[in-house]
Amino acid sequence: MTAIVWIRRSLRQHDNTAIVEASKENDEVIPFYVVDDDYFENADLGYPRVKFWHEALQNLRQELQEDGKDLVIRKGRPIEELEKIIEETGAEKLYFNRDYSSYARKRDEKAKGLDVDVKSFKDLVMFEKEEILSNSGNPYQTYTYYAKKWFKKDKRRPQKPENYTVPDIANDEISSLEELGFERPEDFEWIWNPSSKGGTKRMEEFKKKILNYDKDRDYAWKNSTSKLSPHLKFGTVSIREVFWEAERIKARNPDSEGVKTWQEELAWRDFYFQMMYNYPESEEKALQDQFRKIEWRSKEEAKEDWKAWKNGETGFPFVDAGMRQLKKTGWMHNRLRMVVTSFACKDLWLDWKEVHQYFSEQFVDAEKASMIGGIQWAYSIGTDAQPYFRVFNPWTQGEKYDPNGEYIKKWVPELEKVPQNYIHKPYKMNKLAQQQSNCTIGEDYPKPIIDHDKQRKKSVEKFEKARE
Ligand SMILES: Cc1cc2nc3c(=O)[nH]c(=O)nc-3n(C[C@H](O)[C@H](O)[C@H](O)COP(=O)(O)OP(=O)(O)OC[C@H]3O[C@@H](n4cnc5c(N)ncnc54)[C@H](O)[C@@H]3O)c2cc1C
């Protein structure tokens, strides 16, 4: 029998649940990909993410071809293209891995109406939908309780597909990035290898650091996290593969907290996926009802502040370093994601949906569930969020997590020569210090664009007013 495996974002062959299951039950399997016109027309896409996807797709095709198989690619509307390929090949079955955003769920619901036997699988996460519920049968909104069950539950191991053949079928060329409308931004650094090999290599490198993850992960300058996020996003590694790799290290180092702390991050990822699935309204609205009526400042209203935040020119060095790392590489350290988002909220009062849109365009790993979760956490409007009265201090965050200013100096070169005692508050340098460090405040680097203490107080008041 012939089966189609509709690949969307598990861009790998090994431990790809839909491929594995199709190969068990069919001799002929057609790995099939649709470059989705609907998605390209409507999503907030940007160069880093599209480039990662584009290379990962090409690499998957090559990987399959080297294995005597192929990836059949078409461009158009997914359901129409599926109808065509089913007609062309006489396939009787359709397999795909489940996805959880409202867009993906609507699309997949339509696929269930196709005139074939449709089977979908859990692949993207360790546990999905309502697999982990509270004792009263409700989805968890608090991570700690969720994580306890997540760790206790049996987890699947990675699987290899069985042998299968791919019939010879007409294949579209993959349009170039330029044809798709994406140009490399000026001065952009590409640090990714978007393929299964690249993902495996990333994990191998990270294994050397994982035992210290609990101690090092918050220090932005240390490069101590895995940087697997775009690989997990596009499926160039599988969640089971990386979890079990880590588990093997844990078995050999039972006293280390490093592995457990890292696996807790994988549990956060699942937690946010189940939140998006069970509370789809959070894609559009603050999860906490009481804060839905808060009026944020639009990009238009906050014009100058928005520009300064986006370009890393706020005069708060730690915030600026984070925003510039993002602009230059498409990735930002987690500590900085929290700090810059908190700053956008509690210091600048920027509309969280526009912040979401900007991050979606900029992040190489833009993942709706984790991004909505992270933004609503920092904005104090989501589940298990930072309480609204706890406001990150952008200076002390820098002093604590980048004490010598190494991260700041890497991403904000105009502060390179600023002495350590001024690196977090360069605006306090006197004329001589400014001269000696080649950094004139107000010319080479801005003064703080807002008074943080005032903004902090106002912010707490605004939240309190919303709660009345
Ligand atoms: C405002 C904000 C926006 C975010 N947007 C995204 C996003 O679009 N895509 C994304 O993958 N992550 C997002 N995160 C979560 C986190 O910042 C990144 O997953 C992490 O920085 C990726 O780096 P890493 O792969 O080195 O992570 P590691 O520290 O090595 O963690 C391993 C993996 O665990 C997952 N993970 C880690 N932290 C979190 C978290 N807090 N929430 C959910 N999953 C997590 C990721 O898949 C990550 O690759 C966001 C966080 C915040 C505060």
Q: Is 384 helix (H, G, I), strand (E, B) or coil?
A: coil
Residue 460 has pLDDT above 90, yes or no: yes
Asked whether residue 150 is assigned to any structural domain, the reply reads: no
Q: What share of the chain is helix, strand, coil (3-state, %, to 5)?
A: 50, 10, 40
Q: What is the tens place of the pLDDT at every residue in 14-24?
A: 999 999 999 99
Of 92, 123, 154, which marks where a domain is finished?
123
**pLDDT recorded at residue 72:** 97
Identify whether residues 431 and 374 lie together within a single domain: yes
Asked whether residue 135 is assigned to any structural domain, the reply reads: no
* Residues flanking ligand 1, CB < 6 Å: 217, 225-229, 232-233, 265-266, 268-269, 272, 334, 337-338, 341, 363, 365-367, 370-371, 373-375, 378
Q: How far is the CA of 214 from the centre of ligand 1 (A)?
A: 15
**pLDDT recorded at residue 38:** 87
- Return the beta strands (E) in 81-220 as ranges: 93-97, 117-121
Q: Are residues 313 and 324 in contact, defined by beta-carbon separation less than 8 angstroms?
A: no
Number of domains in the chain: 3
Query: Closest ligand 1 atom, CA of 375?
Result: 1
Asked whether residue 406 is assigned to any structural domain, the reply reads: yes
Identify whether residues 318 and 365 lie together within a single domain: yes
Domain with 445, as residue range(s), is: 289-467
The pLDDT of 445-458, averaged and rounded, is 98
Q: Are residues 85 and 4 in contact, defined by beta-carbon separation less than 8 angstroms?
A: yes
User: In the block, which residue shows the tokens 């609907």?
Assistant: 38
Contacts of 468 (CB under 8 A, 6+ apart): none
Identify whether residues 431 and 452 lie together within a single domain: yes
What is 212-266 written as a DSSP string?
GHHHHTT-GGG--S---HHHHHHTSS-HHHHHHHHHHHHHH-TT-SHHHHHHHHH
CA 377 to chain centre: 15
Nearest one of 171, 196, 8, 161 to 94, comparing CA atoms:
8
User: 112: buried, middle or exposed (CB in 10 Å: 19+, 13-18, 0-12)?
Assistant: exposed
Which residue of 269, 333, 360 sits with most ligand 1 atoms within 8 Å of its CB, as the best mutation to test the pocket?
A: 269
Residue 172 has pLDDT above 90, yes or no: no
Q: What is the CATH number of the domain that holds 241?
A: 1.25.40.80
Identify whether residues 20 and 76 lie together within a single domain: yes
Identify whether residues 321 and 441 lie together within a single domain: yes
The pLDDT of 72-101, averaged and rounded, is 97
Identify whether residues 37 and 94 lie together within a single domain: yes
Which residue of 215, 222, 265, 357 sits with most ligand 1 atoms within 8 Å of its CB, as the best mutation to test the pocket?
A: 265
CA distance 328 to 363: 11
Of 221, 245, 278, which marks where a domain is finished?
278
Q: What are the phi and psi torsion angles at 126 (to 5°)?
A: -75, -45
Identify whether residues 303 and 270 lie together within a single domain: no
Q: What is the CATH number of the domain that holds 54?
A: 3.40.50.620
